[in-house]
A = this chain, B = another copy of it.
Amino acid sequence: MTMMRSRQDVTDAIIIARVAKGLSWSDIAGELAQSLEWTTTACLGQMAFTADQAAKLVAFLGLDQTALPWLQIPPAKGTLAGTAPADPLLYRLYEIVSVYGPAIKELIHEEFGDGIMSAIDFKFEIKRKHHEAGDRVELNMSGKFLPYKTF
């Protein structure tokens, strides 16, 4: 096992171990006792783990011990390298694609197989959810799954 020299090294090792062991993201989320969505986002290098979560992950996937501190440090996040929209509200939507998008991709593939969520056969809804610590925006999207097929 090789020494981890960056969080990117750890992310690569997680992806390789998951494929080699034939694990689903659900398996990993179950082990960590966190939501499937957060776990996948974090494993893809976008979130910091607690010491306890890091230890469980390293043990479960058989990673090198040098992965432990990297997992607990706030990582450099984001995956989109292009021009971002200037407006702060629109930018937050773009940031969601940048930070959470790879996890969304993994989870749609895990649930549905290869394909996409349609942006044409699509609708969305916005609602206010009251909350003590400040109201929340609920943004719900629904798009048809379109599978790739062999031909």
Interface residues of A (CB under 8 A from B): 5-6, 12, 15-16, 19-20, 22, 34-38, 42, 47-48, 66, 69-70, 73-74, 76-102, 104-105, 107-109, 111-126, 128-129, 131, 133-151
The listed residue (B84, B107, B120) touching A147 by CB distance below 8 A is: B120
Which of the listed residues A19, A48, A81 has the most CB atoms from chain B within 10 Å of its own CB?
Answer: A19
Counted per complex, copies of this chain come to 10
Could you tell me the distance in whole angstroms from the C-beta of A3 to the nearest C-beta in chain B? 8
Interface of A is mostly: mixed
Complex interface: chain B residues within 8 A of A99 (CB): 88, 119
| Shortest Cβ distance from residue A37 to the other chain B in the assembled complex, whole angstroms | 6
